[in-house]
Structure 1
């Protein structure tokens, strides 16, 4: 498996636990794909958090509960940085 695929799997594992609308695990496949794409494009946690919020709010057509997902963005970027070290 190549490095990008490994990174994407690691990001997906982290995203599995993110359930802002309490829809249940495995419900957010489309949003997870969009967030993974955003992680590859973004380096700043605040900007990534805003993108995550936008992705989920667009899908659910309502505000995302809980404020900015900054902790999630930081975790995702940390996974990306750790993966980049081995590339």
Structure 2
């Protein structure tokens, strides 16, 4: 369980650094929680990118370009893969 918590914290750090709307002081708690849930459900970059795009669009009513979402989705799934490999 501790490993999963550590991995989730890596997701949180990465998503806070991403800051797609330049909020600088965070403000993405709900979106990060929803994104982490999506990471646990999905293993496909494209599907995860679309889910991330839709999560942030729902909250901010602004569409993040899919290319940006794909980039962050790949980084998140690399963390997930590394976690799975280190058991």
TM-score, normalised relative to structure 2: 0.90
Q: CA deviation at 1:9?
A: 0.6
1:1-87 map, 5 Å: 2-64=2-64, 67-68=65-66, 69-87=69-87
Gaps of 5+ in 2: none
Q: CA deviation at 1:2?
A: 1.1
TM-score, normalised relative to structure 1: 0.90
C-alpha RMSD of the superposition: 1.2
Q: Which runs of 4+ in 1 moved over 3 A?
A: none
What is the aligned length? 85
For residues 61 and 13 of structure 1, the distance between their equivalents in structure 2, rounded to whole angstroms, comes to 23
